[in-house]
Chains A and B, each alone.
Chain A
Amino acid sequence: MEETELARKAIAGDENSFTILIQSKRERLYRMAYTYVRNREDALEVVQETVYRAFLAIHKLQQPQYFNTWLTKIAINSALDFIRKSKKVVYAEPGAEGSYAPNHNEEALDLREALDSLDEKSRTAIMLRYFEDMQLKDIADVLDTPLSSVKSIIYRGLERLKIKLGESESIG
C-alpha cells in the first residue's frame, strides 16, 4: 500500500496501518536517534519514545502526505529531549567519547566528531539533507525555520565540517 494511503488510515485511527507505516520507518528513526545519542540502548529508547509520541498524536496530523516530515520532527524532538533529560551531553571530553562505541571504525569516528562540532540546528539540518535526502523545504518544516535560513544553516555547517574533516585527515 502506498505510504500516503497508510498515513491516511492511520490518522483515521487504524492501528494496523500505523504499525505497518512506523515499522517501515524504524531503521530511519534509529539512525537519526543514534546520530544524537551515540549508543544503542539510548537510541532504542529514543525510538520507543518517538513511536509512543507519534501514536498518541497521529490523529492530529492534518495532511497524510506530511507524515514523514511530521515523524522526523517528533524523532528529533524526542532525541533532543532525551539528551537534555539524561544530561549525557556528548560534548564532554573528546577522549571520554570513545567508550560509547569502541568498535567504531575511523570513518564513523570522523563523522561523530565532525557532527559534534556543529550546533544542534546545523547538525539536524545536515543529517536530514545529506543522510536522509530530505528536501530543503521539508527540512524547513521540521526545523520551523524559513527556507532561506535553512540554506544558510546548511551552508555554514558544511563549511565547518570541511575544516574539521580536513584537520582530522591531516592528523590521521
Chain B
Amino acid sequence: MKQSYDEIDIPDELSIAVVKGIERGKQQQLQPNTRRRNRRWIGRVSASAAALFIVLTIGINTVPAFANSLQEVPGLGQLVKILQFNKGSAEGGTIQDATDVNFITVKEQGDKETIILNFAQNGEAQQVASSFHVSFTEYPHTMTFTVGGARKFSAVKDFAALKKSARIEDAYELITLDDSTVRFNVTFKEAVTYEVHEYKEPAQVVVTIASDPARNVDRPPVYSVRTASIPFGESVGIAEEMLFGAENMRALKDKQGLYFVETGIYDTEAEANAQMNAIKEQLGYTDPLFVEKREDRQIPESIQTPAQ
C-alpha cells in the first residue's frame, strides 16, 4: 500500500500550482484594504514587485517545467480573451460595480513590457475584470484606459513606477464627470505594438507592449484641433461634455502638466481649421478652440486662453 502511495504520479504542473499559490498569497497581501495584521509584512509590500521577479527567477532555475509555462505568469488566472482591436480600440470585461482599480504593475521581459491592471472589490481581489475600454492613439503615442463601474482608483500611486519604464513617458489620471468611471492615459516615448489579454480568477488585464521600429520613423507633423490648457479639474470634464460628438475626441496632458480636450488631428492646417469651424457650428461650442501643429512623438504644447 505504501508503495502505491509513493507511485502517485506527480504532474508537471505541480510546481506551477505552488507558484500560483504563492502569487495568490502575495496578491492578497497587496490588497490595500486588508487588515494590517503584521507590520513586518506590510513593509515588504513595497518590495513586492522585486520579490515577484525573484520568485520567477527561482522558479526558472529550479523547476524546468516552470520555464516552459512562463507565458502563464503575468496572468495568474485563466485567459478570458485576447482583445481584438478595431481602429486602435477594444473592449473587454463584464459589468461590475464598486470596483477599485487597486494596483498596476509594470514588468520588463526582454524587449517587451507588460502593464498589469488589478481589480478589487471590498478589499478582495476581483474574480472577473470590470468592463473596460482601451484605445491606442498617436501624436503622441497614447494608450487610454477606461474602467466602468469603478469607484476608486488606488492604483494612481503606481503611476510613478510606470513612468520609470524606458518606453513610458508619462502616466496620468483623467478627470471623469462620472463617479463610476476611472480613466487614465499612458504616453509612450515611441511607437509601440500592443496586445491586451484579459484574465479571470483573479481578474487582470495584461497589456503587452514592444517597440515598433518600423513605425519609429519621423513622420510629418499633424494639426490638432483642441481647447486651451486647463488645470486638472472639472473644467476638463465639462469641455469634454460640450464637445461630445466629435469623433476622435480625447483628453491629454500638455508640456506644462495642464490638460486639454482634443477633437481630432488632421494632416493639413487648412483641414484642421475647417474642422474647427465645423465643430464650433455643429456643437455650438463657444469657448475658444485652437489649431496646434504637433510633431511626431512630441508632447502637446500648453496653450493659454488669450485675455478677453
- Interface set of A (CB-CB < 8 Å, partner B): 12-13, 15-16, 18-20, 22-23, 26-27, 29-31, 34-35, 40, 44-45, 47-52, 54-56, 59, 105, 107-108, 110-111, 114, 127, 130-131, 165
Contacts and interface: CB of A to CB of B under 8 A. Distances in A.
Nearest to B29: A56
Given A16-B58, A23-B15, A108-B4, 14 more contacts: A18-B22, A19-B55, A22-B18, A23-B18, A23-B63, A26-B17, A29-B18, A35-B5, A47-B14, A47-B18, A52-B25, A54-B25, A55-B22, A59-B41
B24 interface: yes
A15 B51 contact: yes
A22 B22 contact: yes
B179 to A, nearest CB: 33
Contacts of B54: 15-16
Contacts of B5: 31, 35, 111, 127, 131
A132 B13 CA distance: 22
Interface in B13-43: 13-15, 17-18, 20-22, 24-26, 28-29, 38, 40-41
A31 B59 CA distance: 21
A108 B14 contact: no
B10 A55 contact: no
B4 A107 contact: yes
Contacts of A51: 17-18, 20-22, 25
B11 interface: yes
Contact of B38 (A23, A35, A59): A59
Contact of A19 (B20, B22, B28, B29): B22
A13 B17 contact: no
A52 B63 contact: no
Contacts of A29: 18
Contact of B10 (A12, A27, A59, A105): A27
Contacts of A110: 1, 4
Contacts of A105: 4
